[in-house]
Amino acid sequence: MNLWFRLLLMLLRRPWRDSVAPFATTVVRMRVWPLDLDLNRHVTNGRYFTLSDVGRMDYVLRTGAFRVALRHRALPIVGDVWGKFRRELRLFETFEIHTRMLGWDHKWSFVEHRFVKDGRVVGVVIMRGLFRGRKGNVPPGEFAVELGLAQQSPALPDWLANWSASCDRLSGQLRAEEQ
C-alpha cells in the first residue's frame, strides 16, 4: 500500500515538473517510512527495487517515453534487476532516487537508479527492460528514434554488457532445464 501512495503523490506532482531529455537524470525525493524497514531497522533490500519503480515511472513520464509506448500500445516489462547496497537508510531519513538511461542493445533498455542521501550514493539498482506491444517487443532502437535519439545506443560499459550477457546465459540455462 505504501508504494501506491508514493506513486499517487508522484503523479499529483507531475503537472509541476518539467519534461526532460531522454538522457537526462530525473530526481524523486522520498522519506523512509516504517513499512520500508526490515528487522534490522533499515530499508529492506527488496524495497529498493520497489522504490525504483517510482523513479522509473517519473522518468518515463517526464521523458515522453509513455507517449511512445501508448502509440505502440506497449506495456513496460522488467526483465532483470540487480542491486548494489553501500550504506543503510534508516527510519524517517530523506533520500533521492536519481534515474537515468544508460543505453540499449538489440532487445533491452538499461536504466540506472541511484539512491542518494546527503550527496552520497547509498545504493544502485540497475534494470534491463523492454516495451511489449500487441505485435511483440518494440525494438529499443526504434523506440529511441521516436524519442528523438539516434537508433544506435551509446557504448554500454563493460560491466553492464557482461551483466546482461550473464542474464541471457541464466535464461538459457533455465529454458534448458524446463525441457
The pLDDT score that the predictor gives to residue 88 is: 96
* Domain carrying residue 75: 2-171
Q: What pLDDT, in 10s, does the model give residues 132-160?
A: 999 999 999 999 999 999 999 999 999 99
Mean pLDDT for the stretch of residues 171-179: 96
Residue 118 inside a domain? The answer is yes
pTM: 0.91
Q: Report the chain's mean pLDDT, rounded to a whole number.
A: 93
Residue 42 inside a domain? The answer is yes
CB 79 within 8 A of CB 39: no
Residue 80 inside a domain? The answer is yes
Q: What pLDDT, in 10s, does the model give residues 2-42?
A: 677 776 766 666 666 788 999 999 999 999 999 999 999 99
What is the 8-class DSSP label of residue 73? T
What is the 8-class DSSP label of residue 152? S
Residue 178 inside a domain? The answer is no
Mean pLDDT for the stretch of residues 62-83: 95
Residue 179 inside a domain? The answer is no
- Decide if pLDDT at 50 tops 60: yes
CB 59 within 8 A of CB 22: no
Residue 117 inside a domain? The answer is yes
Residue 73 inside a domain? The answer is yes
Considering its fold, how many domains does the chain have in total? 1
Q: Which comes out higher in pLDDT, residue 8 or 81? A: 81
CATH code assigned at 75: 3.10.129.10
Residue 16 inside a domain? The answer is yes
Query: What does 97-138 look like in DSSP terms, one character per residue?
Result: EEEEEEEE-SS-EEEEEEEEETTEEEEEEEEEEEEEETTEEP
d(CA 72, CA 51): 26
